[in-house]
Each structure stands twice: as structure tokens, then as C-alpha cells.
């Protein structure tokens, strides 16, 4: 895992970055690896890939963070990327793999109300995706909105959103 994280930092080759992210994402299926990746500063390295221009690299980084977000300690570190993930969801092509990967990560990060405030500015975008997206996108957006709606503090943001 350490070598993969180092490789991710050391290369500019999108194909190598993509493969390293896929491997890290698959490794995150095991909780012990989730801790190891966090302890090796892998979350910030993977999060740094969110600004990559290559859509496939961005998608794989979102997928890896999504798998790593199953761990509460990891969520504490991943939360610094929520605003960037929301911007990615808003700017990605409609129904794209990048958009769906971002929505899946936001779904996991919104299971508890700890990070809802970081998503409130994206509610109009979520509602737009609900009306314009394909069924896959709509289902993923609904999961985020259901999680947000479970928090009474989000009620006014949900009801006042301009659609």
C-alpha cells in the first residue's frame, strides 16, 4: 500500500494513476487496509487526485475515497474534500461516471449529519439532477437527499432551495 501511494504521488501518467487508484480502492474493502491507507497519509494523496484533469483518474479517486469512507476515522479526514466533491458533481457532464462516483461518495458522507452543512449549497444542484438525470443519477441523488432530509437542521435549506 505504501508503494502504491508513493507511486500515485510520483507519476503524472494517468494510466498508472488510474491503476494505482483501482488497486487502492479494491484494497479498501478490508477494514485493516482502510486504517493503513489513512496512517500512510493516503487519504490526502487520493484526495489530491480530485483535481486531476483526466476524468477516469478523478472517477477512480472518488471511488477509492468512497470505499475508504466506510470508516469513521477516514470520514473525518475525507470531509475536507466534500466541497470539492460537490463542485465536481455540479461541473461533471450529466450522468457521467465522475458525477455518479461523486454522488456515491456524498451518499456515504451524508449517512450521519456530521457533514451535512458542507453539502447545503449543492442542494439546488441535487434537485436539478433529480429532474434532468437518468434513473441511475436520480437514485443516487435521492439517497443523498434522503440522508439530508433526516437532519432537522437541513429542513429550511431543502425547502428554500431554488430549483
pLDDT tens sequence across 26-38: 999 899 999 999 9
The grid coordinates listed for 93 are: 457532464
pTM of the model: 0.96
84: pLDDT confidence band, cut at 50, 70 and 90?
very high
CA distance 126 to 161: 10
**Which letter does DSSP use for residue 30 in this model?**
S
Q: Which CATH architecture has domain 1-79?
A: Alpha Horseshoe (1.25)
Contact predicate 34/26, CB 8 Å = no
The kind and range of the H/E element at 114 are none
CA 53 vs. chain centroid, Å, equals 16
pLDDT, mean over the chain: 96
Q: Indicate the domain borders of the chain.
A: 1-79, 80-162
Confidence (pLDDT) at 107: 98
CA distance 112 to 114: 6
For residues 120-147, average pLDDT: 97
CA 26 vs. chain centroid, Å, equals 16
50: pLDDT confidence band, cut at 50, 70 and 90?
very high
Query: How many Å is the Cα radius of gyration of the chain?
Result: 16
Amino acid at each position: 500500500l505504501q508503494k502504491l501511494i508513493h507511486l500515485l504521488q510520483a507519476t503524472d501518467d494517468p494510466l498508472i494513476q488510474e491503476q494505482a487508484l483501482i488497486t487502492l480502492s479494491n484494497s479498501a474493502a478490508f477494514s485493516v487496509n482502510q486504517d493503513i491507507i489513512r496512517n500512510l497519509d493516503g487519504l490526502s494523496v487520493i484526495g489530491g487526485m480530485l483535481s486531476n484533469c483526466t476524468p477516469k483518474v478523478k472517477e477512480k479517486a472518488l471511488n477509492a475515497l468512497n470505499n475508504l469512507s466506510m470508516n469513521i476515522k477516514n470520514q473525518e479526514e475525507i470531509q475536507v474534500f466534500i466541497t470539492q466533491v460537490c463542485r465536481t458533481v455540479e461541473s461533471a457532464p450529466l450522468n457521467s461516471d465522475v458525477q455518479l462516483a461523486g454522488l456515491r461518495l456524498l451518499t456515504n458522507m451524508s449517512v450521519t449529519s456530521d457533514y451535512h452543512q458542507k453539502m447545503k449549497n449543492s442542494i439546488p444542484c441535487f434537485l436539478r439532477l433529480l429532474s434532468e438525470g437518468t434513473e441511475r443519477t436520480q437514485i443516487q441523488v435521492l439517497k443523498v437527499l434522503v440522508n439530508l432530509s433526516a437532519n432537522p437542521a437541513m429542513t429550511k435549506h431543502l425547502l428554500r432551495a431554488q430549483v
